[in-house]
Structure 1
Amino acid sequence: MREIKKVAVIAHGYGYRGYSGEGKVYLEGVNALKDHNLDYILVTFSKLNINDNEYVVPFKFRRFDKYQRLLVWFAARRIKPLFFLNLSGVPIPLSKISPHIIYAGAPAISSAPTKYSSSLFWKAYLFPFKIIAKKLSEEAKKSYIIANSFYSLRKIEEAYNTRVRKVIYPPVDVDFYKKAFTEKRSEIFLSIGRIEKGKMLENSIKLSAKSGIKGIIIGSLGDRKYLEYLYRLVKELEANIEIYTDLASDKILEIMKIASVYFHPTIGEHFGIPVIESMSAGLIPIVPRESGSYEIVPEYSYNNLDEASSLLKNVIYTDIKTRKELSEKADFFNSKRFKDQLYAEISNFIK
């Protein structure tokens, strides 16, 4: 074991391309250290093209994300840092080496609905992970856990029978998305999320078919077979939906300028960074009641697609005053607030 006078940042998927809220957390978590001149080393699953990097495999590999969060332990255990800042969320056993700070969303082993509870295939995929993760409760109790929402706090405490010390909402680039704030809007709703089954984007297609209102789906392509399924569902339901993958940021802004409503389709979402991004741009958010987003805009929440359809029809022509109020509300979630709050917690571990 190599002792180092640095912070070990555990970010198993650091450097992956494509839109990712977790990627934003990695970036701003590292920036919080940089802002205070703290030396750090990145601990990842795949090798990065940087000097200060402990890794598990020397090549890029994006599959089996849940297991990468566990396997990154093999890289982390080689070093003894000032403390571990674990942004990958799983309480891998590190507290015997150095203090272990974990920033986490609702764990996959909790009762939160996810793609892993949607079919026998996904249940089988997650089964070994659940067995291992349940044995990590003692590590969770020894670690300093920060949740990304109060929804996640409840799910973490339920899953690991432990106490969460703090809630810090994730960082959002609100100033960038404010560039899309316009007064003229079309009768269109927007959904944003990685093109993978866990994001439940089929709910957006069903909402369009149910409401008769046009929808646009934007996301980085993670699962081509799932994308093909979405296209088939559009035809089957005769839904008025357009799907765009891997768009540049300026193209996303152009779509945000014309859409009137943002619909978040993911039940059990830990937080939902696109919800805040869309609020910044002046869209009216519609979010699942079973999610962290509900804490932010409970007045725009739904339990099922019938409720979402009625809500969509009611808010599609919301006045500009309300849109401005929601955009101002989104300002709280800026990156500086995240970095300041995170540093305030980790500063207690700096010797």
Structure 2
Amino acid sequence: MGPTGINISTTKEEIVKEIKKVAIIAHGLGSSRGYSGEGKVYFEGIKTLEEHNLGYIIISFSKISSLDYRKIESKYVIPFKLRKFDKYQRLLVWLAARKIKPLFYLNLSGVPIPLSKISHHVIYAGAPAISTAPSKYSSSLFWKLYLLPFKIITKKLSDEAKKAYIIANSYYSLKKIEEAYNTKVKKVIYPPVDVDFYKRAFSENKSSRFLTIGRIERGKMLENSIKVSAKSGIRGIIIGSLGDKKYLHYLQKLTKRLNAKIDIYTDLPPEKVLEIMRNTSVYFHPTIGEHFGIPVIEAMAAGLVPVVPKESGSAEIIPEYSYNTIDEASELIKKIINDEIKRKELSEKAEDFKSEKFRERLYAELEKFLY
């Protein structure tokens, strides 16, 4: 140990600075225009540490220009925003993370990058992209080629996965993580949801239509919502932040070709989303292989009946309304669209996914690495 408190190696390895803080790995915090479920996990992870007066440093791939009104300490790999190559950003954030030795790493990016030799490594993860779970990466040759280097690299990280303390975001993810890395997941903690906000849209009297919420990008499989509308004859609404204009045009053309009754809205303000939810009776989740599906819980809080893929984390929450095929989903929606559903019970069930409960459960695990 040198006089400045820095570990000095006699090899060519980089200098590692010891800090009495938690290092939060949030690879996408500096590059996202809007934050999805993973972004919500970032902020609730930060809040968890703040509630317990724990110092932290954020490690991202791109430089973070601001975080609300707070001044934050951060490290990053590149000084500009890069919104592409998300999977590889999750790996390359290691270049910044390896330069410090924190109390422990809280890795909210989900990939077991090699850090356990430096300090304790806690990972909060969904089903990995290298697993057998259906996703856009198995949908075409282009995406398979895109993911190939990532698969080769991450398959070599199974030793790190065995050393890290992995928390899964669902039992579905637990199974996929254990299969992919041949390791054991220590805990399951469901993601945080703004339940109280969506409960404002609760109503017993709703219109006979279904709603889908998801980013307008191919991985969300929004075409399934259009196919369900065409098969069932039931009007549907798709709401999402616009991530892929070409995909949006594809969805619009598909709607016309199938003569589906679908309206697509992008980047709506939150209050408008609540207004639509207040007057919609069913929520349809189209994303097969989804790790969890936060919009499913949001919909439950608002009193919508969720119809979800059996191949997903959300099916373990609401198995009685799950489907295997588009035909099954269409028939299920037709069956329940006008039924007397115990919407209040669904809304109350959503209470268990509140953000404060996520923070309590997460801190109970993190506390093990403080002493």
Q: TM-score normalized by structure 1?
A: 0.98
Quote the offset at 1:277 in angstroms. Answer: 0.1
Q: In structure 1, what residue type is equivalent to 2:170?
A: S
**Residue 126 of structure 1, aligned match among 147, 152, 171:** 147
Quote the offset at 1:318 in angstroms. Answer: 2.9
Quote the offset at 1:51 in angstroms. Answer: 4.1
* SS of residue matched to 1:318: coil
Q: Does 1:39 align with 2:59?
A: no
**Residue 302 of structure 1, aligned match among 296, 319, 323:** 323
| Aligned counterparts, 1:267-306, within 5 A | 267-306=288-327
Q: Partner of 1:102 in structure 2?
A: 123
Query: Identical aligned pairs, as a percentage?
Result: 72
**Residue 34 of structure 2, aligned match among 18, 24, 44:** 18
Distance 1:246 1:350 in 2: 41
Please, what is the CA RMSD of the aligned residues? 0.9
Q: Does 1:180 align with 2:201?
A: yes
Q: Partner of 1:333 in structure 2?
A: 353
Q: Partner of 2:339 in structure 1?
A: 318
* SS of residue matched to 2:64: coil
Q: Does 1:5 align with 2:20?
A: yes
Distance 1:196 1:312 in 2: 24
Q: In structure 2, what residue type is equivalent to 1:346?
A: L
Q: In structure 2, what residue type is equivalent to 1:33?
A: L
Q: Partner of 2:44 in structure 1?
A: 28
Q: TM-score normalized by structure 2?
A: 0.93
Unaligned runs of 5+ in 2: 1-15, 66-70
Distance 2:72 2:35 in 1: 25
Quote the offset at 1:222 in angstroms. Answer: 1.0
Distance 1:17 1:24 in 2: 13
Aligned partners of 1:9 and 1:85 also within 8 Å: yes
Aligned partners of 1:191 and 1:218 also within 8 Å: yes
Q: Does 1:91 align with 2:112?
A: yes
Distance 1:111 1:308 in 2: 23
State how many pairs are aligned: 350
* SS of residue matched to 1:180: coil
Quote the offset at 1:60 in angstroms. Answer: 1.2
Q: Partner of 2:366 in structure 1?
A: 346
Larger Rg: 2
Instruction: Show structure 1 runs of 4+ deviating over 6 A.
Output: none
Q: Partner of 1:250 in structure 2?
A: 271
Return 148-157 or 53-62, whichever deviates more. 53-62
Return 43-52 or 151-160, whichever deviates more. 43-52
**Residue 262 of structure 1, aligned match among 283, 288, 292:** 283
Q: Does 1:232 align with 2:253?
A: yes
Distance 1:171 1:73 in 2: 26
* SS of residue matched to 2:95: helix
* SS of residue matched to 1:109: coil
Distance 2:192 2:339 in 1: 27
* SS of residue matched to 2:106: strand
Distance 2:305 2:72 in 1: 44
* SS of residue matched to 1:2: strand
Aligned partners of 1:19 and 1:220 also within 8 Å: no
Q: In structure 2, what residue type is equivalent to 1:241?
A: I
Q: In structure 1, what residue type is equivalent to 2:344?
A: K
Q: Deviations over 1:186-226 (max 9, x none)?
A: 11100011111000000000000010000100111111111
Q: In structure 1, what residue type is equivalent to 2:22?
A: V
Distance 1:253 1:39 in 2: 36
Quote the offset at 1:184 in angstroms. Answer: 1.8
Quote the offset at 1:281 in angstroms. Answer: 0.2
Q: Partner of 2:11 in structure 1?
A: none
